[in-house]
Structure 1
Amino acid sequence: MFSISSVQEIMDYSDRSNIPNQNSVIAGRRINIPFRCDCLNNEFLGHVFPYQVNTSDTYSLVASNYSDLTTVDMLRRFNRYPDNSIPNDVNISVVVNCSCGDSAVSEDYGLFVTYPLRQEDNLTYVASTSNVSEDVIRRYNPGLDAKFSAGRGIIYIPGREGLGSTTLGTSKLTLNLKIPMKMSRFLAARGLRLARDVQAMIS
Structure 2
Amino acid sequence: MQLLHSRKGSGNLALTYIRLATQDDVSKMLVIVKEAQQLLASEDIPQWQNGYPSKETLLDDIAKKISYVLIVGQEVAGFAALLQEPDNNYQKITAGKWFNTEDTHYATIHRIAVSSHFHGQHLAETFINHLISISCSLGFDQIRIDTHERNTRMRHLIKKIGFIYSGIVYMNNNSEDCRNAYQLFLK
TM-score, length-scaled by structure 2: 0.29
Q: Which has the larger radius of gyration?
A: 1
Q: Which of structures 1 and 2 has the larger relative contact order (alpha carbons within 8 angstroms, sep 6+)?
A: 1
